[in-house]
Chains A and B, each alone.
Chain A
């Protein structure tokens, strides 16, 4: 279908506007900085419009624009100095899980009572990038494993293994934050243990 540029813009804008909040929060988790996140979203939108005639109408706009966002981030914002150490498999094996042994207190209650939204965001943002992107796309934005594989141009098996390790790292961090703040701290030795699954 041939459209005028004005019509093209209108279609683009109608698809884009509902996705902006998700694009912005994803940009924030990746750049970890509001100013960069805003610039990244603007740059991705500009690139997306330039490529919009190649977008097939009726296909997954959300996955398409997220792919542009993540590519733009990796090409223009991600610096080598931001690289984080990826825990070794052995370190990952020391998995901790929430293991209450008090009567009447569930691990859910402990988390609710100790962790703030800032703790959760801090934990997500401290994951190494390759794990963070998969965690954000699947667990926060609700993309399927297959969509995530397409967005990041990686095999679906890689999505699953990064997600699995990302979850373990995140759970371990949240557990540690929670233990630092737990009101039951004094009884940690006998009451609460970080237990290997």
Chain B
């Protein structure tokens, strides 16, 4: 696997999308050897984790939960 292959597969890897065992091992082996790709990987992982955790951080209003419960009760 070279740097170009890695960039192509990196998002699949980060998103937990199905890769073959062989592809997954090749990615991990490349990341251990190549500093440039490893930095890119670390940065991408950090960036999307920051987006994910901030995007999941809204709390749902209690009033909406009770509203939904009473809607269901009336079905």
Q: Which residues of A contact B (CB under 8 A)?
A: 5, 9, 12-13, 16-17, 20-22, 24-25, 28-29, 34, 38, 41-42, 45-46, 49, 98, 106-108, 111-112, 115, 117, 120-121, 124, 136, 138-140, 142, 144-145, 163-164, 167, 170-171, 174
Contact = CB atoms under 8 A, between A and B. Distances in A.
Contact of A20 (B56, B57, B65): B65
Contact of A171 (B16, B47, B61): B47
Q: Is the interface of A mostly helix, strand, loop or mixed?
A: helix
Contact of A124 (B16, B55, B69): B55
A41 B72 CA distance: 13
B22 interface: no
Contact of A139 (B55, B60, B72, B75): B55
A144 B75 contact: no
Contacts of A108: 42-43, 46-47
Nearest to A23: B60
A121 B59 CA distance: 14
Contacts of B11: 163-164, 167
A28 to B, nearest CB: 6
Given A9-B75, A42-B71, A98-B43, A117 B57 contact: yes
A45 B75 CA distance: 11
